[in-house]
Chains A and B, each alone.
Chain A
C-alpha cells in the first residue's frame, strides 16, 4: 500500500461529517452485486440510511434493483458523492469524470490511495476523503457504531432523540 506522509489531511473529521450530512445521492464506482463484497456492504448500508445509491460498474446491469451505469458521465442526474471501490490507478480517470459531472465530494475507500489525483480533485473544488470507509464514518458520527464497542471519539452529555 502506498505510504502517504500526511494522510490526516485527507481524513478530516469536519469534511467527513459535512459530506455525510449534506449528501443525498452517492454514486458507487465498482459497486458489486455480490453481497459479500465490501462495496455491496456500503451500498446496502447507505440505502438503509436514506441515501440514493447509483451503481457505476460496466460489469453489472443492476444492483439493489437500480440500473448500473458503465461510467459516471452517463448518469442522467446530479451526483453529490462519488464513492470509489477501484484500484488506485483508476482514480485519475474518475477524478476527471467527477469534475465533469460537478460532483461535490470524492470518497476513496480503504486502500484506494492516489495523492496526485486527490489533489487535482481538491483544486477543482471537490471535497476529498481518502483511505476511509463511508459506512464506518457514517456509523461513527451518525449511526450506531458504538453498539459494537468501537471508539467513535465523540463525547456528549446531551440527550438525543430516540433512534
Chain B
C-alpha cells in the first residue's frame, strides 16, 4: 500500500481546497489540472466499454456524463462540504432542477423557503406546473411553519443557508429534524455561505446545491453549479420508489440496492445528467478549481469587508435599515453564532431613506461598485432591485418580496474597505 494513500490524517480546509481531487496527471506529470477538452474517450477494449456503460466499472465514456477536469471539481467540492460525492452542472439552476428531477415524481409535495433566491422560486413554480408537483412556500424563520406545511406526500424540504437577498439564516439542524421525521431529505442551497462559512451536511442536511458562479469561482467569469450528497438519507424507507425500485430508464437497475449510499448520485449522473444534459464545461471546471484554491482566504476577506461596510451603513441617518445577519443585534444573531461563526457572508441589502428615485440616484453616484445582476465576485457589486430585477412589481408586491423601493443590494468584494466606503459616500452624495 502506498504510504500517501493512508487516510490517517485529517487534512485542513485550505490543504483540501488546493489538493482534493487534484492528483498529478499520471501520463504527463502536469501539476495543474489539465483542461480535458474532449467530448469522448477511447475504450481499452469492447469489454471495458460495456462495463462502463453498464456502470459495472468506473470509467469515462462521454463528456456530457463525466469529464476528468469536471470530476476534479466535483471531488474537491464534495470533500470540502463533507459529502460522499458531487455531480457538476452547467449552472446553479441546472444543478437544482436536476437534483429535484432525480428524487421527485408527479404528485409529490415540496416545502420550500419563501425567502429563496427569486430565480429558484420561479424555477420551483415552473417545475410545479410542468411536473405536476405541489410546492408550499413558507416563511423560513419559524421552524413551526415548516412542520405545519409537511404532509404525507412531502418528499423534500428546500432552504438556503443564507437567503438571497433577505439574509434569513436557516436553522438547519431543526429543519433537518423536521424533514427526517417526515421521511424526507433536506436540501440546502449553500451558495452564499460556501463550505468555509458553513457545512450544512454537518448539521443534518442531506443534499447541498451550489451556484459555483458565485463565491466558489469567485471572479465573475463562469456559470456553473453542483449537487453534493451526504450519503446519509435512507432512500429505501418506502417513500422513494423512484430511487429504490428498478429503473426503466436504466434497463431495470435498482440504484439504491446496487450502489447503496451512492445510489442517489449515480442516478443523478447516469440518468438525469445523461438525459437532461446540463453538463459543466471542462474549461469552467478548471476556473472553479482555481477559484476554490483560495476559497477560505477570499471568504475571510469578503466577510471582513462586508462587516466593516454593514457597520458603517448602520450608523448613518440616511439609512433606515441594514439587513446583514452578522450585525450586532440582528434577529439572526444566535443562528449566526451557531452556523456561521466565521461570518454571515458578504451579500446584504440596506434601505435608503427615500423611494425608487433615491435608489437610482445612489447607483448613479458610485463608480467602484459594478452595477450588475450577480453576487460573489472579487469585485464589489451593486443593484437596485426596484428598478431592475423587480421592476414590474408595485410597492405592495415589493413589500411582500421583502424589498422596499429604496432597497439596495450589495455584494462586497475584495477591494480595500476604505475605498468601498469612499465609493458608497459618493452614492449618498448623489441623492443629495
Contact = CB atoms under 8 A, between A and B. Distances in A.
A19 to B, nearest CB: 11
Given A1-B234, A38-B258, A157-B19, A150 B56 contact: no
B75 interface: yes
Contact of B56 (A45, A148, A156): A45
Interface string A110-140: 1100000000000000000000010010010
A149 B58 contact: no
Interface stretch (A10-18, A54-62, A65-73, A94-102): A10-18
A147 B59 contact: yes
Contacts of B1: 17-18, 21
Interface string B280-322: 0000000000000000000000000000000000000000000
Contacts of B68: 147
B365 interface: no
B284 to A, nearest CB: 15
Contacts, number: 130
Contacts of A152: 75
Interface residues of B, number: 59
Interface stretch (B82-90, B102-110, B191-199): B82-90
Interface string B1-15: 110111110010001
Given A38-B258, A147-B59, A153-B79, A158 B4 contact: yes
Is the interface on chain A under 10, 10 to 19, 20 to 34, or 35 or more residues? Answer: 35 or more
Given A36-B252, A48-B57, A155-B16, A150 B262 contact: yes
A161 to B, nearest CB: 6
A137 B142 CA distance: 42
B125 interface: no
Contacts of A147: 58-60, 66, 68, 71
Contacts of B78: 149-151
Nearest to B5: A154
Contacts of B56: 41, 44-45, 48
A74 interface: no
Taking chain A's interface residues, is the majority helix, strand, or loop, or is none over half, making it mixed?
A: loop
Contacts of A159: 24-26, 29
B257 interface: yes
Contact of A110 (B29, B54, B260, B266): B260
B23 A163 contact: no
A155 B11 contact: yes
Contact of B8 (A13, A18, A38, A150): A13
A162 B24 CA distance: 11
Given A17-B6, A36-B254, A150 B260 contact: no
B269 A148 contact: yes
B40 to A, nearest CB: 14
B265 interface: yes
A141 interface: yes
Given A146-B21, A149-B78, A155-B15, A136 B258 contact: no
Nearest to A110: B260
B354 interface: no
Nearest to B246: A36
The residue in B15, B246, B258 that gathers the most chain A C-beta atoms within 10 A of its C-beta is B258
Interface in A25-66: 35-38, 41, 44-45, 48
A155 B75 contact: no
A148 B79 contact: no
B51 interface: yes
A133 B51 CA distance: 18
A156 B75 contact: no
Contacts of B75: 146, 149-152
B253 A36 contact: yes
B74 interface: yes
A132 to B, nearest CB: 8
A139 B79 contact: no
A78 interface: no
The residue in B5, B23, B55 that gathers the most chain A C-beta atoms within 10 A of its C-beta is B5
Given A149-B75, A151-B84, A160 B23 contact: yes
Contacts of B19: 155-157
Contacts of A145: 58
Contacts of A110: 260-261
B344 interface: no
Contacts of B253: 36
Interface in B251-274: 251-254, 257-262, 265-266, 269
Nearest to B44: A163
Contact of B27 (A48, A155, A162): A162
B70 interface: yes
A154 B58 contact: no
Contacts of A150: 74-75, 78, 84-85, 262, 265
A149 B5 contact: no
The 4 closest A-B pairs by CB, nearest first: A149-B74, A110-B260, A150-B85, A151-B78
Interface of B: 1-2, 4-8, 11, 15-16, 19-21, 23-27, 29, 31, 51, 54-60, 66, 68, 70-75, 78-79, 83-88, 234, 246, 251-254, 257-262, 265-266, 269
8 contacts: A38-B258, A45-B56, A48-B51, A146-B21, A149-B265, A151-B20, A153-B7, A156-B4
